[in-house]
Amino acid sequence: MNLDAMLADLEELVVCESFSSDHAAVARSAGVVAAQGERMLGAAPEFLVVDGVTHLRWTFGSPRVLLLGHHDTVWPIGTLSALPWSVVNGTARGPGVFDMKAGLVQIFHALRALPSLDGVSVLVTGDEELGSPTSQKLIEESARGLSAAFVLEASADGGALKTARKGVSHYELVVYGKAAHAGLEPAKGVNAAVELAHQILAVNEIAAQVDAGLTTVTPTLSAAGTSTNTVPARASVQVDVRVPTVEAQERVHELMNALTARIPGARLELLGGPNRPPMEASSSAALFELAQRAAADLGQPALSGVAVGGASDGNYTAGVGCPTLDGLGAVGGGAHADHEHVITSEMPGRTALLSRLVADVLDGVNP
């Protein structure tokens, strides 16, 4: 693998900013990714625009292996002027370099090294950082029934692969009360803020009813009231849920729906629910074993695997029953932070590993 060529391709992607919420910027980025992929793979992708968001898909023959990535980033347009593209002492920097434009470069170079792409599909989405609202169906459709999905999200610390990811649920709990003058007749009101306080404490206890510390149910953003001298008639709290298993996700959903108002006259409304299913370790076990064998055959250091709390589109591929291995992308750190970076010397080895994995699955190698 030619590192100089990979870095030139990485620069091309990084300097085209692609903030998730800016659909025009995402469309421009898709054009750059598509041109790079066409040059490397010898074929143009499908442009799949869903609700204004541009996704790309390459399909070669009857797919058996899916390579999955995203080209959107969390960085607002203009970040490049403050965090410019650079490569200094073997470290590449720039918005989105680690999460996950280096992974896209590795996809294209890994596939270019194969003698045939028959059986390969590549999906590059444009809204992963937002929770994939427009691409979820594409991801599930592309992964269903395949032998493997390789997700090019960045690696965990030290280059570890991501062998399990927690599922995610998002809720908004809304409390309705009754407004009244806080000074003249507060007793005639139903204080939604006080009811919300009861509910936040109740929500905070849900995780303990599910498992021993693996599930987290976290009240986050909250709001109540309209003025300082009015009993609040409405209050709300956002709730972030992370679960290790489908059963835990279902149990949390059941307990969230079982919440009841404590103050007479107050009413609750629960919005939201499961967003991403968990990627359980069983989904990645065989592919991780295959990766360990491939790394050994390539003379690379032994691979490690970790379970992480953050979700990715790999949750969706695993959720439809496709064996999934994640974290095959860049080695580095600082995702979503000013110190985001990629260790460039690791890119050729990771690319060779991906190429070998795809070839093994296509050849029917059984771990």
- pLDDT (tens digit per residue) in 96-143: 999 999 999 999 999 999 999 999 999 999 999 998 999 999 999 999
- The two structure tokens encoding residue 101: 């434009």
276, 309, 341: which is the final residue of a domain?
Answer: 276
Residue type, 256: M
For residues 226-254, average pLDDT: 96
Residues 6+ apart with CB under 8 A from 107: 67, 69, 122, 152, 354
Q: In this structure, is residue 260 part of a structural domain?
A: yes
- Give dist(CA 151, CA 284) in Å, integer: 11
Q: In this structure, is residue 32 part of a structural domain?
A: yes
- Give dist(CA 254, CA 209) in Å, integer: 11
Q: Select from 174, 217, 221, 210 the least CA-distant residue to 193.
A: 174
Q: Which residue has the tokens 């009244």?
A: 180
pLDDT at 177: 98
H-helix or E-strand spanning residue 348? helix 347-362
- Give dist(CA 100, CA 356) in Å, integer: 21
Residue 367 has pLDDT above 70, yes or no: no
Total count of domains within the chain:
2
Q: In this structure, is residue 351 part of a structural domain?
A: yes
Handedness of CA 137, 140, 143, 145 (dihedral sign): negative
> Where in the sequence is the domain holding 38, given as residue range(s)?
3-166+278-362
Task: Judge whether 195 counts as a catalytic residue.
Answer: no
Which CATH number belongs to the domain containing residue 213 in this structure?
Answer: 3.30.70.360
244, 276, 308: which is the final residue of a domain?
Answer: 276
Q: Do 293 and 258 share a structural domain?
A: no
Q: Do 79 and 228 share a structural domain?
A: no
Say if CB 48 and CB 56 are below 8 A apart: yes
Q: Do 305 and 233 share a structural domain?
A: no
Residue 366 has pLDDT above 90, yes or no: no
Q: In this structure, is residue 267 part of a structural domain?
A: yes
Residue type, 243: V
Mean confidence (pLDDT) of the chain = 96
Percent of the chain with pLDDT over 70: 99
276, 299, 334: which is the final residue of a domain?
Answer: 276
Q: Do 24 and 127 share a structural domain?
A: yes
For residues 346-352, average pLDDT: 98
Residues 6+ apart with CB under 8 A from 346: 159, 330, 331, 332
Residue 287 has pLDDT above 90, yes or no: yes
Q: Do 184 and 305 share a structural domain?
A: no
Q: What pLDDT digit, counting tens, does each position of 178-218 carry? A: 999 999 999 999 999 999 999 999 999 999 999 878 999 99
Q: Do 288 and 152 share a structural domain?
A: yes
Burial of 361 (0-12, 13-18, 19+ CB in 10 A): buried
Q: Beta partners for 209?
A: none
Cα 95 to the chain's mean position, in Å?
Answer: 17
Find the length of the chain.
367
- Give dist(CA 242, CA 45) in Å, integer: 34
pLDDT at 309: 86
- Give dist(CA 324, CA 165) in Å, integer: 11
Q: What pLDDT digit, counting tens, does each position of 136-180 carry? A: 999 999 999 999 999 999 999 999 999 999 999 999 999 999 999
Strands (E), 77-215: 86-88, 91-93, 120-125, 148-151, 161-165, 167-176
Q: Do 245 and 319 share a structural domain?
A: no
Q: Beta partners for 55?
A: 48
Name the H helices within 65-116.
79-82, 102-112
Q: Do 263 and 356 share a structural domain?
A: no
Q: Select from 13, 16, 32, 1 the least CA-distant residue to 347.
A: 1
Q: Which of 9, 17, 128, 195 is catalytic?
A: 128
Residue 363 has pLDDT above 80, yes or no: yes
- Give dist(CA 78, CA 32) in Å, integer: 18
pLDDT at 217: 97
Q: What pLDDT digit, counting tens, does each position of 320-344 carry? A: 999 999 999 999 999 999 999 999 9
Q: In this structure, is residue 367 part of a structural domain?
A: no
For residues 236-242, average pLDDT: 97
Q: In this structure, is residue 100 part of a structural domain?
A: yes
Q: Do 70 and 209 share a structural domain?
A: no
Q: What pLDDT digit, counting tens, does each position of 30-53 carry? A: 999 999 999 999 999 999 999 999
Q: Do 116 and 188 share a structural domain?
A: no
- The two structure tokens encoding residue 338: 């000013």
Q: Select from 247, 238, 237, 239 the least CA-distant residue to 214.
A: 247
Q: Is pTM, for the whole model, over 0.85?
A: yes
Q: Which of 11, 72, 99, 153 is catalytic?
A: 72
Residue type, 219: P
Which CATH number belongs to the domain containing residue 155 in this structure?
Answer: 3.40.630.10
Q: In this structure, is residue 343 part of a structural domain?
A: yes
Q: Do 114 and 64 share a structural domain?
A: yes
Q: Do 22 and 91 share a structural domain?
A: yes
Task: Judge whether 254 counts as a catalytic residue.
Answer: no
